[in-house]
Structure 1
Amino acid sequence: MQNRLRAAFYRGGTSKAVVFNGADLPAGRDARDRIFLHVLGSPDAYGRQLNGMGGGLSSLSKVVIVKPSQRSDADVDYTFVQIAVDEPLADYGSACGNMASCVGPFAVDEGMIDLHPEQNEALVRIYDTNTDRIYHARFPIKNGRAVETGNVSIPGVSGTGAPVVLEFLTPGGAATGKLLPTGHAVDELTVEGVGTIPASLIDAANPVVYVRASDFGKTATELPGDLDADNALMRQIEAVRSAGAVAMGMAASPDAVKRSNPKVAILGSPHAFTSLDGETHQAETHDLNVRLVSMGNFHRAITLTGGMCTAVAAQVSGSLVQQMAQIDGRDLRIGTPSGVLKVTANVEQGADGPEAVTAGTFRTQRRIMEGAVLYPEEFLEDAF
């Protein structure tokens, strides 16, 4: 027997996810995770998730849970679940900035937000349960529903849409409790199979290990598929990620590091590059090039939390990002495999070092489908 579960399928920024109203889900996490894996089609030894709604990439294998919040400073709670493609893993250990863009519109369309009949813009206050942080989403509405059509384009997404402006409040220390987990803007990281290399370990929105692409014989202008195909590079990057996680206090040993966090970003100076759509971006269009690894593969654009972390890092004096970007102001233009992403951050000097006040950008989103997903009835045997 198959059970039906109400759900919607969304694109948020450069990611896609199955989105659930938290009230519709079983209480037990084991039952929830079985359902999530089944719906997305994981694990899939072929890496395609043909038996589910996933797309064979980490950016296309996601679950979002939204429910009304009990907090005075938030309207809804947002929980992100990264579903691994090749193993039975539902990971709650990271945030997703791209899918954060659909949370406010979903809450409006589901009737979770009180609106005035003539209101034409919504401001939704969202509590991110993964990071214990608040962010605000502002977007147009019409007749009590989120507007999707507009003239805003973002790198990595064909067509245009209505903007969703995201502002993340106090994003520093989202995973470790500190913007600079080691207390340093640059650390000398000793990595097995690599040697000792400089790295900036920054935790804002999500923790990222920043290293220079040149230390691996790269420029950070390469396409993701070419980088993924370099098996020696991928082994080195994973070793860097594990060593960075231990240095940041996120794991006791490399073997204990979670797949979802930290991310690794290789940095390159602003050189011309060709994006996945075939467009050439000259050096003057961006402040630095970044290629970021998420869940074992180089991202086809950049995770939005990774973009915001990079914007924060660009304002941390002495960090590798700051050294390479040399920006004057709060805005940063990041060259990604899908084009140039503009992000902003406000970092101030506090009593104990730099403090990230805000980080933000804008995205577009689309409610692609709504209805119900199906799963075997026996998945609920230990649900309560």
Structure 2
Amino acid sequence: MGNWGKQIQIPATYMRGGTSKGLFFLKDDLPTDPVIRDKVLLRVIGSPDPYGQQIDGMGGATSSTSKVVILNKSERPGCDIDYLFGQVAIEQPLVDWSGNCGNLTSAVGPFAIYRGLVEAPKNGIVTVNIWQENIGKKIIAHVPIENGTVQELGDFVLDGVTFPAAEIKLEFLDPAGADEKSTDGGGMFPTGNPLDIIHIPGIGEVEATLINAGNPAVFVEASALELRGTELQDDINRNADLLNRFELIRAHSAVIMGLEESVEYAKKRQHTPKIAFFEEATSYTTSDGKEVHRDNIDILARILSMGKLHHAMTGTGAVAIAAAASIPGTIVSKILGDVMPELRFGHPSGTLTVGAEAAKEEIGWTVKKVVMSRSARRLMEGSVLLPDFNDLTK
């Protein structure tokens, strides 16, 4: 019988990054055994929770707020820190390590500075070279410093975040294609095509772009699912039949992309690939009542995360959208009517501007980097409490 009166403390920082938030840890503060580590992280977040609320943990019961980040000083040449991201399932006992979180990436540099992994000058911009372990890619964060510490407050407005903060510029280098851990060579387009016709049992033929940039993603036109592209969360998340159709397309695409061996397993691991839908620019009202005029955007974009419509846009989704917009023949460039090295798209909470540097080479299209701005802020510092490791492993 366990010692149920005993709890242990683990140093942690609760941070917002972009339109997400999660718990940040130093690698040395967590168990080295990955099985025990995952059990600890699940308990800290409050999963699995059959009620879907994560009441007995730090999670916020949405895909944007059920996240963990682990950092350590990097030994890789040209990199300051190694960054590992975990998407914690809410109702399953699963920490999904299959992809990155582009939003929380904006908080990685600041956290590394707070915890002494990266030195900061008195004032100016610190360039933090980040190795993203999940996807085997390098990301550069430009973090503003004021009076020897991270400048968190400012006037940069990010749609989907209520309050302004300081701007952090991110560069996702060579975001497309295979990572170092790939065994099949990978590529920006796993099928070799910017556009595919895929057959989904129960749905029929669907035109899609299967792309690997930032994270693997599946892009379809809104009209393929009889949507307008202006939908908000309730329009999608209350429609069980529509969510099931999205999941069927996503899961079958995961198998086609070589990410999973079976549709059944792809349904269990929902973090990647993401699925997004697009439509020509038109005016619409955001979730907080703002009016977005068609003249101020180039395209409409909506993305699903962990089986639900995201309230804004995932960071890695924005990376993939920028890549697809810069290459002819994709769903995105087809709707745009041309390639665009920089575009502003409309999402449920407002707009976002992203840019990509793409080039056609002998091996095909490559994206050198994708650039966008986010913001980050510490919400709480201290320790998380949880039952003793010995009780968790029984």
TM interval, shorter chain, is over 0.9
What are the Cα deviations for residues 305-333 of structure 1, in whole angstroms up to 9, with x where unaligned?
A: 00110010011211110011235642111
Whether the 8 Å CA contact 2:303–2:313 is kept in 1: the answer is: yes
Whether the 8 Å CA contact 1:31–1:380 is kept in 2: the answer is: no
The answer to which of 30-39 and 63-72 deviates more is 30-39
Q: Secondary structure at the match of 2:157?
A: coil
Residue aligning to 1:40: 45
Q: Is 2:113 the partner of 1:108? A: yes
What CA distance in whole angstroms lies between the structure 2 residues aligned with 1:27 and 1:287? 47
Residue aligning to 1:128: 132
What CA distance in whole angstroms lies between the structure 2 residues aligned with 1:362 and 1:304? 10
Q: Secondary structure at the match of 2:371?
A: strand
Report deviation, 1:252: 2.3
1:1-384 alignment, distance < 5 Å: 1-116=6-121, 118-173=122-177, 177-257=186-266, 258-326=269-337, 329-379=340-390
Report deviation, 1:378: 3.3
Q: Which runs of 4+ in 1 moved over 6 A?
A: 380-383
Report deviation, 1:114: 2.5
What CA distance in whole angstroms lies between the structure 1 residues aligned with 2:147 and 2:240? 52
**Distance change (3 Å), C-alpha of 1:381 and 1:375:** closer
TM-score relative to the length of structure 2: 0.94
Q: Secondary structure at the match of 2:253?
A: helix
What CA distance in whole angstroms lies between the structure 2 residues aligned with 1:119 and 1:290? 37
**Distance change (3 Å), C-alpha of 1:381 and 1:262:** closer
What CA distance in whole angstroms lies between the structure 2 residues aligned with 1:254 and 1:378? 34
What are the Cα deviations for residues 247-284 of structure 1, in whole angstroms up to 9, with x where unaligned?
A: 11112221232311111111111111111111011111
Q: Secondary structure at the match of 1:181?
A: coil
Whether the 8 Å CA contact 1:221–1:273 is kept in 2: the answer is: yes
When the two chains are superposed, the root-mean-square deviation of aligned CA atoms in Å is: 1.5
Identity %: 38
Whether the 8 Å CA contact 2:120–2:149 is kept in 1: the answer is: no
Stretches of structure 2 lacking an aligned partner (at least 5 in a row): 1-5
What CA distance in whole angstroms lies between the structure 2 residues aligned with 1:174 and 1:97? 17
Whether the 8 Å CA contact 2:312–2:348 is kept in 1: the answer is: yes
Report deviation, 1:380: 7.7
Q: Secondary structure at the match of 2:154?
A: coil
Letter in 1 for 2:370: A
Aligned residues: 382
Residue aligning to 2:3: none
What CA distance in whole angstroms lies between the structure 2 residues aligned with 1:300 and 1:329? 25
What CA distance in whole angstroms lies between the structure 2 residues aligned with 1:300 and 1:174? 29
Report deviation, 1:97: 0.3
Letter in 2 for 1:361: M
